[in-house]
Amino acid sequence: MTARIALPDTCPCDPSRRYADCCERLHAGAATADTAQALMRSRYSAYALGDLEYLRASWHPETCPAELGFDPSMRWLGLEVKRHRSGGETAVVEFVARYRVGGGSAVRLHEVSRFVRVDGRWLYVDGEFPGG
């Protein structure tokens, strides 16, 4: 069962866009991401919304953990894509996401994520955390 929160008007991955015009179609299964960057953005939004089913479905089955946790006190504050490099069936997206747990200080998550396209569909493989 998904621990989703209420659907927002603006998209968590890009507050200048409406959720319905951005990640909602991907989350609903009505469309697939056409680039690894689009998939990464939709995964950020899924974390922000607590959509664990989408996260699992967009994760490569060989690297997806058996359990995915959701902390309802976690608030995602913003996303910055640093770079996106695609080489046919593989891609890398570097990003910085910020979040806060409870009333604590904001945390900066810097990740270089790897993606692979399987049967025309982008999947998240894994990530590295530079400098950390």
pTM of the predicted protein model? 0.92
Domain contains 4: no
Residue 1 lies in a domain: no
Cα dihedral 56, 62, 66, 67, rounded to 10, equals: -40
For residue 47, is it within any domain?
A: yes
CATH of the domain at 109: 3.10.450.50
Which domain range does residue 81 map to? 10-128
First to last CA, the chain: 33
Q: Is residue 5 part of a domain?
A: no
In a domain, 89, yes or no: yes
Side chain identity at 20, as an amino acid letter? A
pLDDT, tens digit only, all 132 positions of the chain: 345 556 789 999 999 999 999 999 999 999 999 999 999 999 999 999 999 999 999 999 999 999 988 888 999 999 999 999 999 999 999 999 999 998 899 999 999 999 999 999 999 999 999 976
Domain count, the chain: 1
